[in-house]
């Protein structure tokens, strides 16, 4: 579950997802969910993604980096067609991470930090809409 606030457009967004198939050694995970494009309107964007993590070891285990690649499909609540969804998340050997997501229209960039309860990240949606996202682990 994630809650986002884009202060330039004053949008509050809500995201929920469920991992239907966990990632295996050679198989990607399969996740589905929904995003409310605005928490105060009935514009729901369902999505499904397949994701795979790759680890690159450093000189020690503490220096390992993780790369997560995902692809999927989404339908915006204000459109009648499906869009491709792609992204890359890079996690250096610290609790920080960064990446990008392409939604079929926009490219969103983000930088965040993993915490005990979830994560907090700063996003630039569509290259011009800054916002903050708070995610909660289940």
- Greatest alpha-carbon pair distance for the chain in Å reads 50
Q: Are 44 and 38 in contact (CB under 8 A)?
A: no
pLDDT of residue 38: 67
Number of domains in the chain: 1
**pTM for the model:** 0.85
> What burial letters (b/e) apply to 1-22, b meaning 16+ CB within 10 Å?
ebebbbeeeebebebebeeeee
Domain membership of residue 125 as a residue range: 2-50+69-86+102-136
The predicted-structure confidence for 51-88, as pLDDT tens digits, reads as follows 999 988 877 767 789 999 999 999 987 788 999 999 99
Question: Residue 63, SS3?
Answer: helix
In a domain, 91, yes or no: no
Low-confidence ranges of the chain (pLDDT < 70): 38-41, 61, 138
In a domain, 124, yes or no: yes
81/54 Cα distance (integer angstroms):
32
In a domain, 96, yes or no: no
In a domain, 25, yes or no: yes
């Amino acid at each position: 579950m994630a809650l986002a606030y884009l202060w330039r457009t004053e949008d509050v967004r809500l995201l929920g997802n469920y991992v239907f198939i966990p990632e295996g050694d050679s198989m990607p995970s399969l996740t589905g969910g929904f995003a409310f494009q605005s928490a105060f309107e009935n514009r729901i964007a369902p999505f499904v993604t397949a994701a795979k993590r790759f680890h690159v070891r450093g000189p020690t285990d503490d220096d390992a980096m993780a790369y997560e690649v995902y692809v999927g499909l989404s339908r915006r609540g204000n459109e009648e067609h499906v869009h491709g969804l792609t992204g890359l998340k890079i996690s250096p050997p610290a609790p920080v991470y960064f990446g990008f997501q392409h939604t079929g229209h926009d490219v969103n960039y983000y930088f965040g930090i993993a915490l005990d309860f979830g994560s907090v990240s700063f996003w630039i949606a569509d290259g011009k809409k800054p916002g903050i996202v708070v995610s909660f682990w289940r």
